[in-house]
Amino acid sequence: FECQRNVTYGAGNDRLAVINNPDLNADNPSTKVGEYTDPNDEWSALVLDFGGPIDLSLYNQFTMKIWSPGLVPLKFKLEGGSSAPVEIDQTVANANSWQTYTVDFSGQANENHTRIAIFFNAGVSPGGEDIYYIDDLRMSRSAFTGCISHFESQAYSLKNWAYFANGSLENEAFEVIANPDMSGVNTSDSVGVFLEAADGADFAGMYADPEAPIALPNTNKTIRMKVWGPDATQMVMKLERPMGTAPNSGDIFADYTTAGQWQELTFDFSAIVPDDAQYERITLILGFGETPAADRTMYFDDIAIGDADCANVSAIDRDALVDLRVYPNPTQQRLTVESPRPLTRIEVHNLVGQRVRSVRLSHQTEVQLDLAGLDRGLYLLTGYSGDKLVARSKVMKE
């Protein structure tokens, strides 16, 4: 209730007001919440109208915070559309406090519903009007059990990586770039960059918090990842911030042995991760136990759980990259770049993944690019629409 509403409130909207949070604490630090006055009857509901079929293929976990005056039954109902209505019942766990409730709608992924109805004290005549406070209503994704990240689509691009113990590169922003070596086991379009500082610790790495927890199947507690590096070295993956009583995984090792080539590594967590454990953080140390003589660039891609294959995930969410038309090529200084799609940004990277130019655009299909000051050699040009990579090409600087 402090930002935009992405759905329309239907029934019950006249009984909903935005107020200051009456119980501001760590369970809900929001300053504004919704106040819903439930009528004195059994089946009044607050209805969220999505205006069309709700896509439950991926984001199928409905979560919300509720402050209830009593231990009452709750009912969450999918309705509207062409499918039969579905009801899921829960009960308020603790009264007079903020509690988060999660409703699993994954079983309705292939159905057609347009509304979510929320019943407070469902089926009970309360004898008077009751007031409930609500906040943070959202559709979330279920736990990761297959592909975690392939950097080809928004739904499977883990981008909130942050470095630690990485010396002068500690605050370097994480980047996704065009794959500089589309060969061997990795011919995908986009990859993540790992920059290791020469003045960092020998355990320098990065961590990320996916938007849903990572859940390893009990029958195959492994994670695979493709890596490209200039040197053979030892790699570490860790699963951290467990939900419940599971332990942190600690360092799980894999050896990268194919310097200058893509290699798929397997990290085996079976000795430490218990059944049904879920983790909210993944950590990488690419080059464990050593510090490079100079800053080192490595790439990683296709982080997948167990037997899952990122290459076959979310095909409809992958738009094929188009080629940029660049001329003259080779060029000594100025370059004309034409794109079949409007661009908001063009970036230039050298072959070790360092960004050497970045130009902001206003949805343009043609731009003059100045490469003055760059060393001779081959460069990768990538075009973006918003945060999405949509076009690329190569240019030779003379």
- The domain spans of the chain are 8-140, 147-305, 322-397
| Contact yes or no for 284/237 (Cβ under 8 A) | yes
What would you report as the CA-atom Rg of the chain, rounded to the nearest whole angstrom? 25
Per-residue confidence band for 393, with pLDDT thresholds at 50, 70 and 90? confident
DSSP 3-state helix, strand, coil percentages of the chain (rounded to 5)? 5, 50, 45
d(CA 239, CA 231): 25
* Per-residue DSSP letter, 376: S
Model pLDDT for residues 168-188, shown as the tens digit of each residue: 999 999 999 999 999 999 999
Buried b (16+ CB within 10 A) or exposed e, 373-385: eeeeeebbbbbbb
pLDDT at 315 over 70: no
**Tokens of residue 59, six digits:** 């984001």
Per-residue confidence band for 387, with pLDDT thresholds at 50, 70 and 90? low
User: Does 147-305 match 8-140 at the fold level?
Assistant: yes
> Which of residues 110 and 39 earns the better pLDDT score?
39
> Which of residues 325 and 283 earns the better pLDDT score?
283
Quote the pLDDT of residue 363: 78
* Per-residue DSSP letter, 184: T
Superfamily covering domain 8-140:
Galactose-binding lectin (2.60.120.430)
Q: What's the sign of the alpha-carbon dihedral 243, 107, 117, 316?
A: positive
Question: What is the mean predicted confidence (pLDDT) over 99-112?
Answer: 92
| Contact yes or no for 191/299 (Cβ under 8 A) | yes
pLDDT at 318 over 50: no
Question: What is the mean predicted confidence (pLDDT) over 99-105?
Answer: 95
Model pLDDT for residues 239-286, shown as the tens digit of each residue: 999 998 999 999 999 999 999 999 999 999 999 999 999 999 999 999
d(CA 176, CA 349): 11
Q: Where are the alpha helices (DSSP H) in the chain?
A: none
Per-residue confidence band for 58, with pLDDT thresholds at 50, 70 and 90? confident
Quote the pLDDT of residue 323: 82
Quote the pLDDT of residue 46: 96
- What beta strand segments (E) does 159-231 contain? 162-164, 176-178, 190-196, 205-208, 214-215, 222-228
- Which residue matches tokens 């909210």? 280
User: By CB neighbour count within 10 A (0-12 exposed, 13-18 middle, 19+ buried), where does 48 fall?
Assistant: buried
Q: The domain at 147-305 falls in which architecture?
A: Sandwich (2.60)
Superfamily covering domain 322-397:
Immunoglobulins (2.60.40.10)
d(CA 78, CA 393): 47
